Amino acid sequence: MMPNPLQALVQTQDLTLRADYSYTFDSDFKDSSLGSLSVSKLNVSARTPISNSEKLRVVTGVNYRRLDFDADSDIIPDHMQGLSALVNFEYLIGGQPAIGLLMSPGFYFIDDIDSDTFDIPTIFYASWRFTPSFIGIGGAGYSGLRADNPVIPLAGFIWTISEDVKLNAIFPVASLDFDLNDRTKLSIIGEYSGIKAHTGDGVADEDYRDTALSYSEMRAGVQLGLELGDSSSLRFSAGWAFRQEF
């Protein structure tokens, strides 16, 4: 299934509440001895602006993520989860973000929370408007749990093709959006999604205990967005997960 086949959003001037749920049906491992894997994913967040001036926007919040795995192999943990704060700073030029810093300090774990599960994933980004319809974006992402490669480059762009068509290509999500009317949007989406966590004693295989573990998916599909009112919306998606990796 596509990421976030069901998404609910409630937004006011002072608070944004968002809930996403997705389910990926059975997929076979390349190593047939490991059997198959299905994944359910829940993401819940709340955000509120604490500064929204002409030049500076600061948003804080909290986020909880949980992935549950139904696997034939006991090498795979039953679940992975993360509980984090959200802090986003944006410097604005002409009302648009020009420089930004997004931090998600929190605990990324399987069962037990301790100091080893603490991390501060951070994204720094900058944008530049090349033309009225084209914005380029570059930056870098950091995670201490990504020990082999803690810093990765990020790049992308936003291209307003016409009044009703926009291409957003900003890692880890790319979408081609069509505004069907004032309250309905159709999107073709590709996404790289995943989670990193410290295992502790939360895996059956002793070789994978007390270490960092990551899970990722590459997915593509179609999404229909419905604006229910000035402060709420729903999103429905369907598609394929064509690469899953631990």
Segment among 61-70, 140-149, 166-175 with least mean pLDDT: 140-149
CB 41 within 8 A of CB 53: no
What's the chain's average pLDDT? 87
pTM attached to this predicted model = 0.85
- pLDDT, tens digit (0-9, with 9 covering 90-100), for 17-53: 889 998 888 877 776 667 788 999 999 999 998 888 8
- pLDDT, tens digit (0-9, with 9 covering 90-100), for 215-232: 888 989 999 999 887 778
Segment among 1-5, 31-35, 64-68, 225-229 with least mean pLDDT: 1-5
- pLDDT, tens digit (0-9, with 9 covering 90-100), for 154-166: 899 999 999 999 9
Task: Quickly state the pLDDT bin for 131 (edges 50, 70, 90).
Answer: very high
User: pLDDT at position 10, please?
Assistant: 57
What mean pLDDT is predicted for residues 231-238? 86
User: pLDDT at position 32, please?
Assistant: 67
The SS3 of residue 214 is strand
- What sign results for the dihedral spanned by CA atoms 165, 187, 29, 107? positive
* Sequence-distant (≥ 6) Cβ neighbours of residue 54 within 8 angstroms: 92, 95
